[in-house]
Amino acid sequence: MNKESALANLGLSGNEDTATVARVYGERLSAIQDQLVKAQTDAERGNCSTKLSQLVESYEFVTQTGRHTKVAANESSATVMRTGTEIAQAKKEFQRVVKGPIKSQAFLMEIDDALALRQKLLRTKSPA
């Protein structure tokens, strides 16, 4: 996909600001979702699904998000294994920062699961 085809899929010229891009994407997304809900046949659903995928791909390309996010040049710290203490500290900081019980509760449950899995792996780890 190139920028021109992504802009065409969104119905944009390339001169729009971020808010306009988001608004147009939302409008088109809503229209395709409505078509998908109203689809009567598998062929119609498949067509809507393809349109939806193309729209999302175009939006991600134009906004440099999702699969098209530009990666920082130095990723050396991205693969560093975190200790249980570091994860627990991050969890505490996240609890302090995030607002909204549903969002934070789901994240905290995932952190708890990750810590439990780590502990299980450490217990079952055989000496080398």
Per-residue pLDDT of the chain (128 residues; tens, 9 = 90+): 788 888 888 888 888 888 888 898 889 988 888 888 888 988 998 888 888 888 888 888 888 876 656 655 454 555 556 666 666 666 666 555 555 555 556 666 777 778 888 888 878 765 65
User: Residue 79: inside a domain, yes or no?
Assistant: no
**Domains: count for the chain:** 2
Whole-number pLDDT of residue 37: 87
Q: Do residues 101 and 52 share a domain? A: no
90: nearest Cα among 76, 110, 111: 111
Whole-number pLDDT of residue 90: 67
Whole-number pLDDT of residue 2: 83
Domain range for 120 is 84-124
Whole-number pLDDT of residue 75: 47
